[in-house]
Amino acid sequence: MQDARCKIKNKTYNLQLATCNFKGRMLFDVPMKDYTSFKIGGNAEVMAFPKNENDLISIIGFAASKGFPIFVFGRGTNLLVMDNGIKGVVINLSEGFKKISWEENDTVAVGAGVMLVELVNLCKDRGLSGLEFAIGIPGTIGGAVVMNAGAYGSEIKDVIERVEAVDISGKKHSFDKSTLNFSYRKCSIPENMVITKAYLKLKKTGMEEIQDRVKEFKDRRKTTRAINMPNAGSIFKNPHGLLAGKLIEEAGLKGIRVGGAQISEIHANYIVNLGNATAMDVLTLLSMIRDRVFKTKGVLLETEIQVVGED
């Protein structure tokens, strides 16, 4: 969108976008509940959907020059937005960065907006192995890198070679795997970076063998697939050698409800939105879980979801 002009009334300030050389969609006063898997959250003042890297550089450069806060996300999984929404500019990568390039030596270059499930299936069709574990993980490759997404003993770090990113000044960067310092559910990419592309090193394997592994992982996810109410996936990280869901269940919390949020009766490491949950409902449950598990098990759980926005 070029020459986009809009003034947004806010209790603390007026946000004005003027003559920003941006070609993607731009929305204003956007309910974040419509863009997250939890279906919870207040409004974002501005939401921009960059089409490509130039668009991204344009909007983050403009926002940074005006001092507007910036928040970047993909499909809104693994995310809890607070009830008063998000100030500034929310950059949604779900409509761009979809290019996939099949390169030499079983390497694939993947735009940050590509869905993991889509990528797994495309790799399967080409007989490229290494991502089968991700078949049930929602979200995009960009988010998967930031969170070092994983399941069943495998993680994104196992296949990443390098990533490309843009900082808030619009400068492009490249990070080799060795500089990202991957650990359990996180990597050390600087907070002022927006990942635009990831390079994955896979392994040529027979298609039937890959299909068997994909089926195995799908079967192992049958329990969580039965959760049909809005949720953000696993709420807590698994402590070393333990399962967070098992600890929560043994603490007697399975099925406990606060307002419109409930600890799932199917899997205790999921909190579901029964239809009208608020972020405060979810945060109350998180606090309750932490306290009870620590008192009964002596284990302090660490959240896996990202909490953003205004209290």
The C-alpha angle 255, 257, 260, rounded to 5 degrees, equals 125
In CATH terms, the fold of domain 100-220 is 3.30.465
Return the amino acid letter for 128. L
Q: Where in the chain is the domain with CATH 3.90.78.10?
A: 228-308
- Between CA 86 and CA 10 the distance in angstroms is 11
CATH number for 6-95: choose from 3.40.50.2300, 3.40.50.300, 3.30.43.10, 1.10.287.10: 3.30.43.10
Return the amino acid letter for 125. D
Q: Which residue, among 195, 171, 286, has the nearest Cα to 236 in the 3D structure? A: 286
Q: From the centroid of its chain, how far is CA 154? A: 18
Q: Which residue has the tokens 């392994």?
A: 203
Q: Where in the chain is the domain with CATH 3.30.43.10?
A: 6-95
Calculate the CA dihedral of residues 6, 169, 165, 192 and round it to 10 degrees.
-90
- Between CA 189 and CA 267 the distance in angstroms is 31
Q: Where in the chain is the domain with CATH 3.30.465.10?
A: 100-220
Q: Which residue, among 84, 70, 69, 85, has the nearest Cα to 35 in the 3D structure? A: 85
The whole-number pLDDT of residue 288 equals 98
- Mind listing the pLDDT tens digit of every residue in the chain (311 residues)? 333 334 444 433 334 454 467 888 889 999 999 999 999 999 999 999 999 999 999 898 888 888 899 999 988 999 999 999 999 999 999 888 999 999 999 999 999 999 999 999 999 999 999 999 999 888 899 999 999 998 888 999 999 999 999 998 889 999 999 999 999 988 999 988 999 999 999 999 988 999 999 999 888 887 777 789 999 999 999 999 999 999 999 999 999 999 999 999 999 999 999 999 999 999 999 999 999 999 999 999 999 999 999 88
Centre a 10 Å sphere on the Cβ of residue 130 and count the other Cβ atoms it contains: 20
162 Cβ contact partners less than 8 Å away, ≥ 6 residues apart: 174, 175, 176, 177, 198, 199
The whole-number pLDDT of residue 139 equals 87
- Between CA 2 and CA 104 the distance in angstroms is 38
Q: How far is CA 72 from CA 51, 58, 76, 286, in A?
A: 14, 14, 10, 24
The whole-number pLDDT of residue 161 equals 96
The set of long-range contacts for 19-27, using a CB threshold of 8 Å and a minimum separation of 24, is: 20/58, 20/59, 20/62, 21/58, 22/48, 22/50, 22/55, 22/58, 22/59, 22/62, 23/51, 23/55, 24/48, 24/49, 24/50, 24/51, 24/55, 24/59, 24/95, 24/96, 25/1, 25/49, 25/95, 26/1
Q: Which residue has the tokens 């907070």?
A: 191
- Give me the phi and psi of 279, to 5 degrees please: -65, -35
Question: Are 310 and 71 contacting, i.e. CB atoms less than 8 angstroms apart?
Answer: no
The catalytic residue positions are 185, 234, 304
Instruction: Return the structure tokens found at 189.
Output: 């990419």
The whole-number pLDDT of residue 10 equals 42
Q: How far is CA 280 from CA 81, 171, 276, 294, in A?
A: 10, 37, 12, 21
CATH number for 228-308: choose from 3.90.78.10, 3.40.50.80, 3.40.190.10, 3.20.20.70: 3.90.78.10
Supply the pTM of this predicted model: 0.87
